[in-house]
């Protein structure tokens, strides 16, 4: 906020309301580092001539003496300085106000109005208040000399010169006299202690003429003015060589001619009866400022003298010479009071209150005065006051505390009043002319207090931040900067509410709310920069964000409490407080953290599963080491998550669990990838045929059968698959998925324990069924186990044992190629699998092997190719072999349950009777079933039923296949007639 009072919407300052009883005594302001007025240049203007304060004081004193020792129509007179007070009472009427005796019967009216203290009434004692005190002055003239620290010799010279002037100009008004010119002519070297003093006095007097007539004239001066050029030459020449000032001296005549020519100028060109030599701005204002400074006690700089009224009455008589009026007096006096308050260390609040009260008079003048020069000085003065007040308020925490907080009331009141005059009272004409200087916007009829309280803005936050940086530098384990700042800002807000708001509420009912809103914005800007630079979630980051979240809650609470009685319940204030969204930021960072963890876990799965051997000799559980490591990483991720110092573990836990769920699912998918399935190992169905090897006819339709061994395995099965996907490796994969599935309950219990120990956990968090959050990987494990069991079973039966089953069983003569070789190798593999596989899934894989064996047995009977044929009498061999196969899985009660064996043998048992059935009966049944299925009649040819793969005694394709493999003449004729198959094998 660049200017505290300039971008304001102004309302009423305290003086616009009904006057309230005087405030209680105010503790003085603590002295600041800079108490002098060096940083407060005078807004009344700078004089182009290099005058010292002493030069201005002497010049102002000369004007004061000249103005006070004469009045209209009466001559100047002189009373010797050593004349007693008794003789003063016998002076003629020519002894006027300058030697007016002082009275002490009543205190100053002005002091009463402003509440100003008398000398020695405060903590400081006037030097003249004790024993042996010096004699108090008894006249206004003597008082003024003492106040302005003018020597008696200088005073005597001035009064003596004025008497000489009056002797030759009886009845002439002082306003028509150019005092410096007359003093130059009247005072000689003999009037001074030495020639050096005289020459210095002459140079100073000539510089006064230069300042008043050439550099700061009452009327604008043409650069080509000959009188001005002559005067400038004389003055510059006198700087090197003093001029002779006798009455008839030629140089003096030239000087007088030039001076009077310039002093008597008027706007209409006529000769003026008043001389304008000290009434140009800013010379007159600076001289008047020196006179007003004399109203302060010489021994107590913060006190107005007791005789203020009498002295001010005489000071105002200089207005005629200085071209001043009441309006300019009010403005100058306001500045002098304010400047004295600052210059004396801001210790005397009566001065501040007096300046504030005098500013009320200035406000009245500003409403009616249209003079552009006045408006310019007024603007400069008010701007200077506002600038000073702004600096105090911007550093208010270093300036005020609980003890002296009420001091701030006067400063705020002064600043508000100055801003209000700038906005409302300065003439519109001047404001249009000086639009860039009076940069104040009137936005409505309410004073936006939070703009006034700009000291709570980012500059204060930045100052606190810098202080915290310095404090935490080089300190081990130092708290994060913004966490410290959040604590500091919170303390500021509480202090604001408890200490400063009761004072500021006099200007705005929502002072605390607006102040903390500005605090909120200031810290928010710092936080925004911090968040923009965050790349990862660290303990420091979380600490800062949690501190910011708590700070925001505290600030909002203060704002709401302060605004509870407002019309909108504080909604407008809250709108001024953009949310920090610290929790959302934490949540986003945690999500990024989670994603990073999960991505690393996924990369780990990809990398390690490529190297996994799936060896059965890995560990006691029989599972792969990669699974143990993966679950260990999952547990570490959960531990790390709950160790994060965040306030939202329950809220973000589902996301963590979902991510881990997907990772474990990904591991399961990779573990079963490439292992195949049931259909992978099933052989391709050979075409229906009635031909043996070497037969003339090799099939029917468009498809040609290949050699008997061409269909013994699916070409999709890799020949080198045993290295990674052999039965031992498949068993390890199955064990691994089973172990991972078993860790589900362990993970659930671990999460509940971690959540219970979390600081942010609530009772309802445990009733939401956390286990249900792991929805993907348990189902994936079950599905994977099933797939791998099927793959292992069908691989074993149709790949590893294909030579004994698919290539050997019932080839040629069924009686000589029975099932025993297949059973021997199957039993050996079953023993290995039973020893390798986890007992929890042993029954499942054995069941799948049994189902694969039963499917393989049926495929040999119904789709075994042209190398197989069966007569009706072979049915007993087939039935006996199947019973032996079932017995092996039953294993005298030590194997699979009989109910399970019966369930999976149902299809085989339903099909085997077809091999015992007579051929004609089979043909008739085939005709009937086919006609019913395909809606054919006796006059049309029976359609060829497609292979469904679902064997069933009532299914046409199953019946047809039994007939195709029936070594029988009737079957041969039927197939020849119906489908044009050959009559003989």
**Residue 490 or residue 440, greater confidence:** 490
pLDDT band at 505 (very low <50, low <70, confident <90, very high): confident
What's the predicted TM-score (pTM) here? 0.60
Buried-exposed string 579-608: b where 16+ CB fall within 10 A, e elsewhere: ebbbbebbbebbeebbeebbeebbebbeeb
DSSP-derived pairing of the beta strands 300-304 and 296-297: antiparallel
Which residues, in sequence order, are CB contacts of 508 under 8 Å at separation 6+?
11, 447, 449, 452, 514
- What lies within 8 Å, CB to CB, of 8 at 6+ separation is 419, 423, 440, 441, 443, 447, 448, 451, 452
From residue 644, alpha-carbon distances to 376, 479, 536, 551, 587 in Å are 63, 17, 13, 20, 11
d(CA 919, CA 912): 14
| Whether 29 contacts 403, CB under 8 Å | no
Burial class (CB in 10 A: 0-12, 13-18, 19+), 506: middle
Query: Tokens 């005298």 sit at which residue?
Result: 892
Alpha-helical runs (H) found in 610-710: 625-643, 649-672, 678-681
Average pLDDT over residues 294-299: 84
* Range 434-437, long-range pairs (CB < 8 A, 24+ positions): 434/375, 434/376, 434/379, 437/379, 437/383
DSSP 195-263: HHHHHHHHHHHHHHHHIIIIIS-SS---TT-HHHHHHHHHHHHHHHSPPP--TT-HHHHHHHHHHHHHH
The H-or-E segment that residue 301 falls in is strand 300-304
First CA to last CA distance, the chain: 108
Question: What pLDDT, on a 0 to 100 scale, did the predictor assign at position 70?
Answer: 54
CA torsion angle 116 119 122 127 (round to 10): 170
Most confidently modeled range among 368-372, 734-738, 747-751: 734-738
Position 408 scores a pLDDT of: 77
Asked if 234 and 180 count as a contact pair (C-beta separation under 8 A), the reply is no
Cα–Cα distance between 480 and 469 in angstroms, integer?
A: 9
Name the burial class of residue 670, with classes exposed (0-12), middle (13-18) and buried (19+) by CB atoms within 10 angstroms of its CB.
Answer: middle
| Span of 138-152, 287-301, 434-448 with lowest mean pLDDT | 434-448
My answer on whether omega of the bond before 282 falls inside 30° of 0, hence cis, is yes
Task: Report the range of poorest mean pLDDT among 133-137, 212-216, 556-560, 637-641.
Answer: 133-137
User: Residue 511 — pLDDT band, cuts 50, 70, 90?
Assistant: confident
Comparing CA positions, the residue from 380, 212, 221 lying closest to residue 283 is 212
DSSP secondary structure of 849-861: HHHHHHHHHHHHH
Q: Report the sign of the C-alpha dihedral through residues 622, 626, 630, 636, in that order.
A: positive
Least confident residue range of 231-235, 455-459, 552-556, 878-882:
455-459
82: left (phi over 0), alpha (psi -120 to 50) or beta: alpha
Q: How far is Cα 457 from Cα 448, in angstroms, rounded to an integer? A: 14
Among residues of the chain, what percentage have pLDDT more than 70? 76
The answer on pLDDT for 58 being more than 90 is yes
Task: Please give the Cα distance from 942 to 946 (Å, whole number).
Answer: 12
Write down the pLDDT at residue 112.
Answer: 61
Please tell me the distance from the alpha carbon of residue 443 to that of residue 10, in angstroms, as a whole number. Answer: 8
> Of 925, 846, 848, 861, nearest to 891 (Cα)?
846
Is it the case that residue 328 has pLDDT exceeding 90?
yes
Q: What does the chain come to in residues?
A: 985
Measured between alpha carbons, how far is residue 269 from residues 219, 254, 274, 280, 518 in Å? 11, 22, 13, 18, 60
Confidence of residue 446 (pLDDT cuts 50, 70, 90): very low
In the DSSP assignment, the letter for residue 243 is P
Query: What would the mean pLDDT of 164-189 be, rounded to a whole number?
Result: 83
- Among candidates 540, 547, 539, which has minimal Cα distance to 523? 547
**In this predicted structure, what is the pLDDT of residue 701?**
33
Distance CA 701, CA 687 (A): 9
Alpha helices in 533-648 (DSSP H): 539-562, 571-575, 582-609, 625-643
pLDDT at 632 over 50: yes
Please, where are the H alpha helices in 369-405?
A: 372-394, 396-399
Q: What integer pLDDT is reported at residue 983 of this predicted model?
A: 60
Return phi, psi of residue 122, to 5°. Answer: -95, -155
Query: Quick check: 213 and 180 in contact, CB under 8 A?
Result: no
Give the mean model confidence (pLDDT) for residues 447-460.
44
Tell me the pLDDT tens digit for each residue of 406-433: 677 788 788 878 888 887 766 554 555 4
Mean pLDDT to the nearest integer, 243-256: 84
Whole-number pLDDT of residue 74: 42
| Average pLDDT along the chain | 79
Three-class DSSP category at 277: coil
| pLDDT tens figures, 832-870 | 999 999 999 999 999 999 999 999 999 999 998 888 899
pLDDT of residue 8: 38
Mean predicted confidence (pLDDT) in 634-651: 89
Local confidence band at 445 (pLDDT 50, 70, 90 cut-offs): very low
pLDDT for 925-936, tens place per residue?
999 999 988 887
Q: Which of 46-55, 373-382, 405-414, 663-672 has the highest mean pLDDT?
A: 663-672
**CB neighbours of residue 503 within 10 Å:** 16
On the question of pLDDT at 956 being above 70, the answer is yes
Tens of pLDDT, residues 752-781: 888 888 877 665 666 655 545 788 999 999
pLDDT score recorded for residue 242: 87
Q: Are 342 and 40 in contact (CB under 8 A)?
A: yes
When pLDDT is averaged across residues 216-225 and rounded to a whole number, the result is: 88
Burial readout 136-154 (b: 16 or more C-beta within 10 A, e: otherwise): ebbbbbbbbbbbbebeeeb
CA-nearest of 343, 229, 352, 217 to 282 is 217
Contact 44, 287 (CB under 8 A): no
> Residue 170's pLDDT is what?
62
Least confident of 497-511, 579-593, 651-665, 798-812: 497-511
| Paired strand residues for 304 | 296
What is the per-residue pLDDT for 265? 87
Burial class (CB in 10 A: 0-12, 13-18, 19+), 572: middle
Q: How far is it, in rounded angstroms, from Cα 948 to Cα 926?
A: 15
Strand pairing partners for 966? Answer: 870
Between 482 and 840, where is the model more confident? 840
**CA angle 244–249–250, rounded 5-degree value:** 105
- The contacts of residue 42 (CB under 8 Å, 6+ apart) are 286, 289, 335, 339
**Rounded distance between C-alpha atoms, residue 630 and residue 665, angstroms:** 11
pLDDT per position as a tens digit, 86-144: 333 333 333 444 555 565 444 556 666 555 666 655 434 333 444 444 556 678 888 88
């Amino acid at each position: 906020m660049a200017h505290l009072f300039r971008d304001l919407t102004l309302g009423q300052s305290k003086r616009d309301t009904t006057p309230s009883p005087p405030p209680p005594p105010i503790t003085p302001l603590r002295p600041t580092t800079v108490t002098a007025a060096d940083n407060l240049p005078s807004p009344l203007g700078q004089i182009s001539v290099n005058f010292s304060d002493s030069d201005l004081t002497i010049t102002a004193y000369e004007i004061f003496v000249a103005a006070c020792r004469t009045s209209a129509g009466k001559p100047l007179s002189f009373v010797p300085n050593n004349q007693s007070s008794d003789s003063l009472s016998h002076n003629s009427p020519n002894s006027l106000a300058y030697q007016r005796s002082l009275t002490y019967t009543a205190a100053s009216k002005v002091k009463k109005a402003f509440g100003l203290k008398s000398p020695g009434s405060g903590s400081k004692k006037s030097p003249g208040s004790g024993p042996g005190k010096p004699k108090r002055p008894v006249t206004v003239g003597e008082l003024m000399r003492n106040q302005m620290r003018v020597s008696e010799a200088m005073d005597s010279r001035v009064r003596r010169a004025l008497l000489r002037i009056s002797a030759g100009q009886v009845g002439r008004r002082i306003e028509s006299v150019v005092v410096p010119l007359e003093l130059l002519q009247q005072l000689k070297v003999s009037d001074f202690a030495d020639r050096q003093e005289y020459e210095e006095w002459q140079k100073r007097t000539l510089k006064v003429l230069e300042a008043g007539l050439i550099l700061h004239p009452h009327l604008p001066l043409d650069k080509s003015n000959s009188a001005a050029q002559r005067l400038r030459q004389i003055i510059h020449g006198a700087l090197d060589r003093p001029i002779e000032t006798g009455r008839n001296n030629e140089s003096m005549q030239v000087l007088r001619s030039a001076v009077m020519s310039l002093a008597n100028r008027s706007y209409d060109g006529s000769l003026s009866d008043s001389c304008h030599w000290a009434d140009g701005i800013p010379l007159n204002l600076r001289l008047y400022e020196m006179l007003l400074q004399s109203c302060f006690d010489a021994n107590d700089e913060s006190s107005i003298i007791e005789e203020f009224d009498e002295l001010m009455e005489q000071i105002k008589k200089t207005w005629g010479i200085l071209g001043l009026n009441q309006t300019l007096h009010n403005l100058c006096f306001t500045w002098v009071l304010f400047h004295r308050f600052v210059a004396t260390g801001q210790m005397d609040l009566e001065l501040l209150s007096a300046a504030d009260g005098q500013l009320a008079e200035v406000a009245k003048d500003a409403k009616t005065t249209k003079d552009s020069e006045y408006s310019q000085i007024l603007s400069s003065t008010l701007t200077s006051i506002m600038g000073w007040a702004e600096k105090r308020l911007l550093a208010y925490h270093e300036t005020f505390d609980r003890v002296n907080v009420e001091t701030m009331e006067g400063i705020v009141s002064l600043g508000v009043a100055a801003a209000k005059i700038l906005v409302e009272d300065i003439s519109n004409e001047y404001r249009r002319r000086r639009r860039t200087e009076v940069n104040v916007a009137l936005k409505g009829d309410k004073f936006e207090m939070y703009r006034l309280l700009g000291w709570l803005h980012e500059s204060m936050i930045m100052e606190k931040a810098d202080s915290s940086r310095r404090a935490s530098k080089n300190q081990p384990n130092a708290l994060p900067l913004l966490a410290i700042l959040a604590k500091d800002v919170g303390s500021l807000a509480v202090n604001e509410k408890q200490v400063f708001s009761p004072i500021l509420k006099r200007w705005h009912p929502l002072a605390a709310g607006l102040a903390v809103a500005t605090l909120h914005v200031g810290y928010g800007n710092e936080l925004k920069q911090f968040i923009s630079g965050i790349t990862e979630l660290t303990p420091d980051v979380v600490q800062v964000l949690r501190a910011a979240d708590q700070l925001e809650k505290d600030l909002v609470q203060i704002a709401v409490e302060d605004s509870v009685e407002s019309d909108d319940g504080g909604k407008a204030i809250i709108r001024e407080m953009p949310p920090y969204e610290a929790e959302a930021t934490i949540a986003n960072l945690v999500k990024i953290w989670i994603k990073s963890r999960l991505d690393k876990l996924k990369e780990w799965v990809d990398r390690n599963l490529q190297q996994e051997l799936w060896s059965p000799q890995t560990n006691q559980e029989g599972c792969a080491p990669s699974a143990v490591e993966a679950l260990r990483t999952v547990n570490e991720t959960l531990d790390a998550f709950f160790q994060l110092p965040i306030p939202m573990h329950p809220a973000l836990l589902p996301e963590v669990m979902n991510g881990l769920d997907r990772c474990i699912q990904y591991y399961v998918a990779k573990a079963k990838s490439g292992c195949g399935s049931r259909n992978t190992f099933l052989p391709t169905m050979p075409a229906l045929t009635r031909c043996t090897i070497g037969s003339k006819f090799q099939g029917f339709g468009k498809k040609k059968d290949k050699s008997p061994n061409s269909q013994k395995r699916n070409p999709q099965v890799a020949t080198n698959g045993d290295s990674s996907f052999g039965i031992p490796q498949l068993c390890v994969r199955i064990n691994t998925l089973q172990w991972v599935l078993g860790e589900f309950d362990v993970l659930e219990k671990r999460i509940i324990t971690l959540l219970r120990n979390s600081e942010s956990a609530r009772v309802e968090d445990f009733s939401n069924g956390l286990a249900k959050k792991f929805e993907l990987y348990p189902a994936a494990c079950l599905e994977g186990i099933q797939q791998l069991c099927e793959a292992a079973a069908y691989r074993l039966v149709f790949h590893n044992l294909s030579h004994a089953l698919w290539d050997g069983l019932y080839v040629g003569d069924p009686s000589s190629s029975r099932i025993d070789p297949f059973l021997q190798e199957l039993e050996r593999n079953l023993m290995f699998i039973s020893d390798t596989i986890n007992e929890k899934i042993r029954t499942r894989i054995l069941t799948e092997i049994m189902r694969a064996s039963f499917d393989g047995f049926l495929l040999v009977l119904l789709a075994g190719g042209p190398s197989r044929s069966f007569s009706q009498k072979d049915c007993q061999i087939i039935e006996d072999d199947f019973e032996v196969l079932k017995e092996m899985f039953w294993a005298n009660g030590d194997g699979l349950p009989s109910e399970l064996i019966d369930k999976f043998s149902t299809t085989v048992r339903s099909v085997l009777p077809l091999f015992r059935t007579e051929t004609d009966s089979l043909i008739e049944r085939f005709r009937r079933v086919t006609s019913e299925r395909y809606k054919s009649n006796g006059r049309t040819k029976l359609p060829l039923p497609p292979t469904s793969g679902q064997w069933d005694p009532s299914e046409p394709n199953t019946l047809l296949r039994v007939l195709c493999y029936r070594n029988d003449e009737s079957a041969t004729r039927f197939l020849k007639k119906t489908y044009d198959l050959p009559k003989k094998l």
